[in-house]
């Protein structure tokens, strides 16, 4: 095919150490006609209870490093019976106690939510978009997915994120990126791009 070997040019980059997050974000933004590039880098995270504060600091840092329009994402799994734990510590908790450890901590009340913050930054503006999905933690791990996917069951569905085929049409990430896209596309239009 013509152009297949041409280097692709990207208008927007996703800065993250987590390739799974990028792969999903790319697929989702593609459906909104936005071509997303990847810059693999572990940004420093401030310690805060607020995902929004963590994400917006990461976005500014990413822009300062690459001098290109960027988005970053910060997520958290908030479990009701654990007073919102692991929340902003989701990445660390996954690497340490993992899904097995989470399942051992829970009894009857299994309510939880996944929150995603997408933060954009360029030379003029920095802006964040937040979305969540309610659900429950399953009793056992099912499906082959990354992170907490094998134990998170979205509300009104009976399968974990890992076992669903349409996670990218309903996830916290999808909802936050949808909000971001409608703002970003409007911004490009008003800039005449
Ligand atoms: P960054 O470099 O982008 O910060 P990270 O993996 O540290 O990558 P977060 O701080 O946002 O990202 O960590 C949130 C953790 O929550 C992440 O490491 C996963 O374990 C988990 N997670 C986030 N979104 C998820 C999803 O859609 N499915 C399963 N697990 C998810």
Least confident residue range of 91-100, 147-156, 172-181, 183-192: 183-192
The most confident of 9-13, 114-118, 187-191, by mean pLDDT: 114-118
- Determine the atom of ligand 1 nearest the C-alpha atom of 45: 4
Q: Which pLDDT does position 192 carry in this prediction?
A: 78
Query: CA dihedral defined by 81, 84, 86, 91, rounded to 10 degrees?
Result: 140
> Given 5, 74, 122, 134, which residue is catalytic?
74
Instruction: Look at the block and give the residue holding tokens 């349409």.
Output: 166
Model confidence pLDDT, tens digit, residues 50-59:
999 999 999 9
Is 21 close to ligand 1, i.e. is its CB under 6 Å away? Answer: yes
Section 24-41 average pLDDT: 96
User: What's the pLDDT score for residue 73?
Assistant: 98
Residues 6+ apart with CB under 8 A from 123: 63, 67
Q: What is the pTM of this model?
A: 0.94
C-beta separation of 14 from 39 below 8 A: yes
pLDDT of residue 124: 96
pLDDT of residue 5: 54
Angle at 45 between CA 43 and CA 50, to 5 degrees: 135
pLDDT of residue 11: 85
CA distance 2 to 113: 45
């Amino acid at each position: 095919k013509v152009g297949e070997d041409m280097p692709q040019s990207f208008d927007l980059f996703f800065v993250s150490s987590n390739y799974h997050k990028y792969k999903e974000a790319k697929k989702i933004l593609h459906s909104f006609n936005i071509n997303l590039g990847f810059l693999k880098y572990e940004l420093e995270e401030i310690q805060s209870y607020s995902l929004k504060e963590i994400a917006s600091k990461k976005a500014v840092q990413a822009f300062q490093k690459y001098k290109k329009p960027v988005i970053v994402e910060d997520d958290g799994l908030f479990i009701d019976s654990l007073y919102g734990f692991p929340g902003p510590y989701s990445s660390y908790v996954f690497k340490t106690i993992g899904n097995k450890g989470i399942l051992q901590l829970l009894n009857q009340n299994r309510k939880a939510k996944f929150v995603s913050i997408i933060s954009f930054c360029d030379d003029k503006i920095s802006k964040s978009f937040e979305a969540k999905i309610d659900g429950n933690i399953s009793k056992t791990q099912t499906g082959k997915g990354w992170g907490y996917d094998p134990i998170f069951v979205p509300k009104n569905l009976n399968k974990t994120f890992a076992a669903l085929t349409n996670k990218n049409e309903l996830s916290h990430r999808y909802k936050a990126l949808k909000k971001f896209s409608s703002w970003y596309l409007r911004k490009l239009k008003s800039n005449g791009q």
